Amino acid sequence: MRKKIGEGYRALFGDSPRAFGTLGVLLLACLAVVPAKDHFREWSGYQSGYLKYIANRGDAATLKRRFEGGIHQDWLPELGVVDRCGTCHVALKEAVLAGTGPQPFRGHPVIPHNLERYGCVLCHGGQGVATTVEEAHRSSKAWEQPILPARYVEAGCGQCHQNTMTGTPELNQGRTLLAEYGCVRCHTVNVPGGGRMAASDHPPSLEHIAGKTTREWMYAWLKNPQAYAVSATMPNFQLSDDDARDITAFLVAQSTALEVAQGPAETGAAAAESGEGSSLYGESFCASCHAMQNAAGLLVGGNVGPELTRVGTKVKPEWLKAWLWNPGQWSPTTVMPHYRFDGKQIGLLARYLGSQTDSDFLAKVSLPPATAEQVAHGKKLVNERGCGSCHEMNGVKKPDNFAPDLSNVGSRSLEKIVFAPGVQEDLPSYLAAKIQHPHRFGPATKMPQFSLTAPQVDALVTALLAETDRAAGLPAALRVPGKVESDYQPAGPAGKLIADLRCFSCHAFNGRGGDMAPDLSIEGSAVQRGWLVSFLKNPNTLRPALIRRMPRFNLTDGEAQTLADYILTVYQTPAFEAGPLSAAGFTADQREHGRQLFYSKYACQACHIVDPKNDKGYVGPTLTQAGTRLNAAWIVHYLKDPQKMRPGNLEPNQHISDEDARDLAAFLMAQTKGGAQEARK
Amino acid sequence: MAATKQDTLGRLRETRVWQSVFRSGWGDSNLHRALAVQQNLFLHLFPAKMRRRSLDIGVTWYLGTLTLVAFFILVATGIPLMLYYHPSVPQAYADMKDLQFVVSAGVFLRNLHRWAAHAMVLLVFAHMARVFYRGAYRPPREFNWVVGVVLLLVTLFLSYTGYLLPWDQLAFWAITVGSNILSSVPVMGLKIRFLMLGGNTVNANALLRFYVLHCVILPLAAVAFIGVHFWRIRKDGGLYRDGHAAARAAESGEQRHG
């Protein structure tokens, strides 16, 4: 045996030429690995797997014909993107495989974008150039952006889209939360294309806080804001008892008195029935903005203003009355309207709200008088905790860039992140953990504890993941800007009234304002003066199915007329002249023809009521008083293209001819019953 | 069969083409052998005669030859790599990715180039240590030692300039650190760094400069000095001499005549 081995060795390596030759052959054999590895690349296995997968399908021939082997690549030179995902995900464009079957053979769900034009990594992240599973999906030292987990995929949309879209609820909610919870007051988030994200919360100024509430309440609130109001957006700073005490000492010390005009004297409120305050609260639609917990513990009401469940425990009665009389005196930036309540109404509301108390809230709070050291320590804490980022206080400067800039947080390198123990080492998990439990990241973390639900955290993470380097560097042509609030300000006495009544809180005019109530930018073209004046004085709802309506602001005749005249003059559409058509110009034939069109051809009664006895339409506004409310010219133009006059309107565009529209207007202008009733009132 | 082969070769040697290339003629006399070496550009670096002993592995460990082989591998892999590489900031790293994911045998080419580069640096050091400990730097070879030191530096610069070309984080920071070290040279450190990087930080200019250095200037310098290095080996008396002969030669100055 040994002899044989010896012989073999000699035969192969016996002398220099043999050794040289043998080694050369061995080297060539080793080099053969190179083309072999090239041939058996990972993706070729997936491509043959796909052919096997479709082989048993009925449409195998069609799918096979459309299949093309080899590396598939999308190149987007203006974005510097090269995507080879289609090399393994071979069926992305096959509609019949959309959303079904195993990956990577699934088709892409239908989206508004062309896959070839936008590629994959623009939305999904990951390493597009890679042709191996590991390299394409996960992050490594050679590629820091892993694929975006499916639950955060809307972050991909948010890179280009700053606007609100119906298809991205998670992203929309996340951005709303960033604004509502005041995240962007401490953190800068630059919006690609200029500007920065703005907060939409209304943290009150604390410059006169001692006039509004007690030190005990401040203490209990600071310790746990959510114990006072479950919907409070102020985070819990997890202050120690002493720290909370010292901050209240400072807040009271820095507070200055505010001279405010007193409202009318309280008359007759004391003698009122016990339910009247609650009724007035309802009639004034306070609940449109303010929430209260009902007996079942559920929040009922809007989230524009603070929750009022325990407001009686918080505010001082004098403050409450002064506020109810004219909130703008206390806070010039408040969105709450000046309701012009009379003395009795203020008394009723103040008594009703004052009775909303919770004796447990302040039960255990007893604070000794503040010392100078406590005040000084409180001021130091206020500066350390960044209270000034949200609240104005005397002697406290608003800090600049109090918290880290989050403009490019979606591209943050994992190398630069310090993970808390137990946090999965990827960016979404880090962001979620940081939002949910900031204090897991060490005692030095200044970020307070927010009360957010798990879906809210996911939404916030989605919104933050959209803030990537790529988003910041997108070509302008791809960027879809968000809604930009104009700084429109109406002029003159009517402008003053509009500001005083805070019309912008609910209505939008010329691109500024809220969306709780209709946009009034062209309302002057739609309505008649008489109706508008009476509506402003005594608002009613136009739709039978709608209980909510505009609150009554106790306007004087003069104020209502000033407003009505301004609206009719200024808020006109450029699309048509209001003048030429008038009710008197219509003939009886036109009216009759219009009636037939209304009931037969266009079946308007499905949504509208003209004859209260027989019509059952509850969706659209009641039209019994259309003749006194609306302009004839408006009706004609509105019917011809409802969405042009009122974007987003439900009314279908039935492509009504000029003649039909005119006859329908003739019919509707004859409907003056409601108006007559209104006039009699 | 054998006779036929001889005849075929014989006829081939008589052709005009053969004789125009191999002008010294064929034969195994000393003259023919010496002419074969002297009249060939590639072979004339070698001595026409050498001692069999000097080819033993124990004499040189073949370290110089292995270094040369590593250099050949680097040239052979470097040229195809140049076909896939753009020395530009947006493209350089993407080209690495293409080599990794789509170019046939791209990973093999790149890895072979990289490992051969590491091997060459190691071999050059080993070669230098061998020469040092064997005393082969002593006269008459002192000039070739200096040439060897120049070649060592060229090798290190080749390695350093090649390091930047992948244009990844490692490359960027390595060159940043390296150039900062250079800037601590007294008086003109910052000027040297500016000259090397074509600016004050590692950027597009540095990438282009390093590319030109790595692919043109330094390889040409290496080839030139390797030529001198080999030529000097021959002129200084070959790879091996026994100690006595060397000592005698040193005394009489005979080595000048090689």
Which candidate from B101, B108, B168 shows the least CB-CB separation from A130? B101
CB-based contact A136:A87 (threshold 8 Å) = no
Give chain A's length: 681
Residue A98 one-letter amino acid: A
Residue A482 and residue A194: Cα distance in Å, rounded?
A: 11
DSSP line for A498-548: HHHTTGGGT-EETTEE-SSS---TTHHHHB-HHHHHHHHHS---SSTT---
- Domain hosting residue B181, numbered range: 57-235
Q: Across residues A209-230, what is the average pLDDT?
A: 92
Put simply, the answer to whether B94 touches A129 (Cβ < 8 Å) is: yes
pLDDT score recorded for residue B206: 96
pLDDT score recorded for residue B28: 82
Residue A248 one-letter amino acid: T
Tokens 């979606």 belong to A410
Q: What is the pLDDT along chain B (258 residues), one digit of tens a residue?
A: 556 777 888 888 888 998 888 888 777 888 888 888 888 888 887 777 777 888 888 888 899 999 999 999 999 999 999 999 999 998 999 999 999 999 999 999 999 999 999 999 999 999 999 999 988 898 889 999 999 999 999 999 999 999 999 999 899 999 999 999 999 999 999 999 999 999 999 999 999 999 999 999 999 999 999 999 998 988 887 776 655 555 555 555 544 443
- Interface confidence (ipTM) of the complex: 0.76
Classify residue B34: in a domain, yes or no: no
Residue B75 one-letter amino acid: V
Classify residue B20: in a domain, yes or no: no
Can you give the pTM of this predicted structure?
Answer: 0.81
Residue A151 and residue A166: Cα distance in Å, rounded?
A: 17
Q: Which of A190-194, A342-346, A652-656, B59-63 has the lowest mean pLDDT?
A: A190-194
Give chain B's length: 258
Residue A324 and residue A347: Cα distance in Å, rounded?
A: 9
Query: Token digits for B155?
Result: 């090798």
Classify residue B101: in a domain, yes or no: yes
The rounded mean pLDDT for chain A is 88
Put simply, the answer to whether B101 touches A131 (Cβ < 8 Å) is: yes
Interface residue A142 vs chain B (CB under 8 A): yes
Query: Token digits for B222?
Result: 């290496």
pLDDT score recorded for residue A252: 93
pLDDT score recorded for residue B34: 85
Classify residue B222: in a domain, yes or no: yes
With contacts defined as CB-CB under 8 Å, which chain B residues touch A135? 100-101
CB-based contact A512:A485 (threshold 8 Å) = yes
Residue A274 and residue A53: Cα distance in Å, rounded?
A: 75
pLDDT score recorded for residue A619: 85
B238: nearest Cα among B49, B31, B57, B39: B49
For residue A333, the number of C-alpha atoms closer than 13 Å in the C-beta half-sphere is 8
User: What percent of chain A shows pLDDT beyond 70?
Assistant: 97
With contacts defined as CB-CB under 8 Å, which chain B residues touch A141? 169
Q: Give the confidence band of A45 by pLDDT, cuts at 50, 70, 90.
A: very high
Helices vs strands, H then E, count in chain A: 33, 6
Q: Which residue of B has its CA nearest to A73?
A: B102
Interface residue B88 vs chain A (CB under 8 A): no
Interface residue B149 vs chain A (CB under 8 A): no
Q: Dump pLDDT digits (tens) for A411-446.
A: 988 888 888 888 888 899 999 999 999 988 888 888
A651 DSSP 8-state letter: S
Q: Dump pLDDT digits (tens) for B48-82.
A: 777 788 888 888 889 999 999 999 999 999 999 99
Tokens 């009925």 belong to A58
Classify residue B219: in a domain, yes or no: yes
Helix axes B204-212, B169-182, angle to 10 degrees: 80
Residue A467 and residue B117: Cα distance in Å, rounded?
A: 41
DSSP line for A212-247: TB-HHHHHHHHH-HHHH-TT--SPB----HHHHHHH
User: What percent of chain A shows pLDDT beyond 90?
Assistant: 39
Classify residue B258: in a domain, yes or no: no
Total structural domains in chain B? 1
CB-based contact A593:A641 (threshold 8 Å) = no
Q: Give the confidence band of A270 by pLDDT, cuts at 50, 70, 90.
A: low
The DSSP element (H or E) to which A300 belongs, if any, is strand A299-301
Interface residue A500 vs chain B (CB under 8 A): no
With contacts defined as CB-CB under 8 Å, which chain A residues touch B168? 142
C-alpha gyration radius of chain B: 23
pLDDT score recorded for residue A580: 57
Q: Peptide bond before A481: cis, by omega within 30 degrees of 0?
A: no
Q: Across residues A133-137, what is the average pLDDT?
A: 92
pLDDT score recorded for residue B121: 97
Residue A18 and residue A6: Cα distance in Å, rounded?
A: 15
CB-based contact A665:A639 (threshold 8 Å) = yes
Burial (CB count <10 Å: 0-12, 13-18, 19+), residue A424: exposed
Interface residue A131 vs chain B (CB under 8 A): yes
Q: Across residues A7-22, what is the average pLDDT?
A: 88
pLDDT score recorded for residue A675: 42
CB-based contact A566:A536 (threshold 8 Å) = no
Q: For residue A574, what are the contacts with CB-CB under 8 A and spacing of at least 6?
A: none
Interface residue B98 vs chain A (CB under 8 A): yes
Q: How far is CA B207 from CA A118, B114, B173, B198, B213, in A?
A: 31, 18, 13, 9, 10
The strand ranges marked E within A4-118 are: 74-76, 81-83
Tokens 């987990």 belong to A149
Which candidate from A34, A131, A142 shows the least CB-CB separation from B168? A142
Q: Dump pLDDT digits (tens) for A95-117.
A: 888 888 888 999 998 888 988 88
Q: How far is CA B11 from CA B1, B19, B23, B27, in A?
A: 15, 11, 16, 15
Q: Dump pLDDT digits (tens) for A461-516.
A: 999 999 999 888 888 888 888 887 788 888 889 999 999 999 999 999 888 888 88
Q: Which residue of B has its CA nearest to A80?
A: B90
CB-based contact A305:A336 (threshold 8 Å) = yes
B155: nearest Cα among B118, B188, B187, B192: B118
Q: What CATH number does residue B123 fall under? A: 1.20.810.10
Q: Which residues on adjacent β-strands are paired with residue A213?
A: A315
CB-based contact A121:A127 (threshold 8 Å) = yes
Query: Token digits for A256?
Result: 């200055």
Q: Across residues A22-42, what is the average pLDDT?
A: 91
Q: Which residue of B has its CA nearest to A72?
A: B102
Interface residue B52 vs chain A (CB under 8 A): no
- For residue A681, pLDDT over 50 is answered with no
Residue A632 and residue B229: Cα distance in Å, rounded?
A: 103
- For residue A271, pLDDT over 80 is answered with no
Classify residue B48: in a domain, yes or no: no
What distance in Å separates residue A82's CA from the closest CA in chain B? Answer: 9
Q: Dump pLDDT digits (tens) for A371-393.
A: 999 999 999 999 999 999 999 99
